Amino acid sequence: MRAPVYLDNHATTRVDPRVVDAMVPCFVDLFGNPGSTSHRFGHAAKRAVDESRARIAAVIGASDREIVFTSGATESNNLAIRGVAERSRAADRHLISIATEHKSVLDPLRRLARKGCSITILPVARGDDRTGRIEPERIAESIGNETRLVSVMLANNEIGTIQPIREIGRICRERGVLLHCDATQAVGKLAVRVDELDVDLMSFTAHKIYGPKGVGALYVRRAEGRVRLEPQIDGGGQEGGLRSGTLNVPGIVGFAKAIDLCEEERAHEAPRLAALRDTLYDRLVREIPGVSLNGPPLDQADRRLAGNLSCSFAGVDGEALMIAMGDLAVSSGSACTSANPEPSHVLRALGLDDDLVRASLRFGIGRFNTLEEIDFAARTIRDAVIRLRGLRDSS
């Protein structure tokens, strides 16, 4: 085993060498602009994009024309939310979401609120339920005549909660409201098929699934009535006018290879990740006093992502813990997922107080992690927690 050990696979993943191999020809041979329709360099690049689009669409149960390539899930979320709001009549500008969404959903909603839209952000904590799951009935109760869009993520990036999207989709469809789903942490890890979910818009990205950074997609439903969006980037009219800009051909080819590999390997990879995750958790609770689990129980495979673990270590500062762990890469409860490291809004939304939020770590176990690395992680965390608690008690 080689240190440092990477257990931060929700933040990003190492690009799979098979994905790199698929991308390399796009830099040297297929370098044409897919928008150049007048020569064979452009045609070859367009063919590569078309094939990749078809693969990605097939994996999520969409048609080719329903995939819009973007620079990543942040852009996809912005396009979906702002795109719908800006296309709605002023009287129909009520949007609903939940407190544990990614900032790239919550911040566009906040901006829309400042511009006069009516926004409802639903809490997820109920009593001592700290799973982070939203009850579909809460969504149903919040929908009014003026509601245009509901945005609920499929799987949470901090606590792994899988939301009841099927039920939420059914409610939205019945009430004539659009549903956007941020499936960034779910695509490639769970069976996600838009033809089986009543989802109208869905965001996902390549770099969470062993593909390259800087490329993502928004699924925009066309079947049974096309969803209309206001473009957020204007220019050459690429992607049906919804997202102008020269397509990232190597990124798109890598994205398709990455999603294909996840799909092929998912059946045996998910239980392998869950077993590694359970081993880590068992070691932590057995060897360290005062460890608590955040998010859904680990034995509920349909409610929690296989590779996700979030724990609080009472009385320890997560940042100090991360520094003390040196060769182990994880995220803390005041994670710098954005430019400003502040206590995680997700853990706060579960009802954790700020001390416990700061005493939390998120582990993201992925394709390249081994049992030996999990053993290293358990020992490193135990030694660091004991050392920090010793320092605190002696001060």
Residue 93 or 180 having the CB closest to ligand PLP: 180
Residues in the chain: 395
> C-beta of 355: minimal distance to ligand PLP in Å?
25
Integer Cα distance of 318 and 159 in angstroms: 16
**Active-site residue flag, 336:** yes
Q: Is 239 in the site for ligand PLP (CB under 6 A)?
A: no
Minimum distance of ligand PLP from residue 358's CB (angstroms): 20
Q: Which of residues 308-367 bind ligand PLP (CB under 6 A)?
A: 337
Residue closest to ligand PLP (Cβ): 72
| Nearest CA-CA partner of 9 in 376, 271, 309 | 309
Contacting range for ligand PLP; rule: CB under 6 A; set: 21-29, 179-187, 264-272, 317-325:
179-187
Shortest distance in whole angstroms from residue 395 CB to ligand PLP: 36
CA distance 81 to 170: 20
- Shortest approach of ligand PLP to residue 205 CB, angstroms? 3
Contact 134, 150 (CB under 8 A): no
Nearest to 196 by CA among 170, 163, 228, 224: 170
Shortest CB 171 distance to ligand PLP, Å? 22
For CA atoms 125, 128, 132, 137, give the dihedral sign: negative
- Which of 183, 177, 217, 226 lies closest to 198, judged by CA? 177
Q: Which of 32, 216, 364, 366 binds ligand PLP (CB under 6 A)?
A: 216
Kindly write out the interface string for residues 65-84 of this chain, putting x where it contacts ligand PLP by CB under 6 A and - elsewhere.
Answer: -------xxx----------
Query: Quick one: which of 30, 95, 112, 153 contacts ligand PLP (CB under 6 A)?
Result: 153
Nearer to ligand PLP, 151 or 369 (CB): 151
Q: Residue 181 interacts with ligand PLP (CB under 6 A)?
A: no
User: Applying CB under 6 A, does 182 fall inside the site for ligand PLP?
Assistant: yes
Over the Cα atoms of the chain, what is R_g? 22
H or E segment and range at residue 360:
strand 360-364
| Interacting span for ligand PLP (CB under 6 A) from 128-136, 178-186, 254-262, 292-300 | 178-186
Question: Contacts with ligand PLP in 97-126 (CB under 6 A)?
Answer: 102, 104
CB of 315 to ligand PLP, least distance (A): 29
Catalytic residue among 26, 117, 311, 336: 336
Under rule CB under 6 A, residue 205 binds ligand PLP? yes
- Taking the C-alpha atoms of residue 211 and residue 254, their distance in angstroms, rounded to an integer, is 6
Among 157, 248, 310, 332, binds ligand PLP (CB under 6 A): 157
Q: What is the DSSP string of 61-123?
A: T--GGGEEEESSHHHHHHHHHHHHHHHS-GGG-EEEEETTS-HHHHHHHHHHHHTT-EEEEE-
**Two tokens at 376?**
């290293």
Tell me if 247 sits within 8 A of 49, measured CB to CB: yes
Residue 310 · residue 293 · CB < 8 Å? yes
Interface with ligand PLP by CB under 6 A: which residues? 72-74, 102, 104, 153, 157, 182, 184-185, 205, 207, 216, 337
Q: Which residues are catalytic?
A: 336
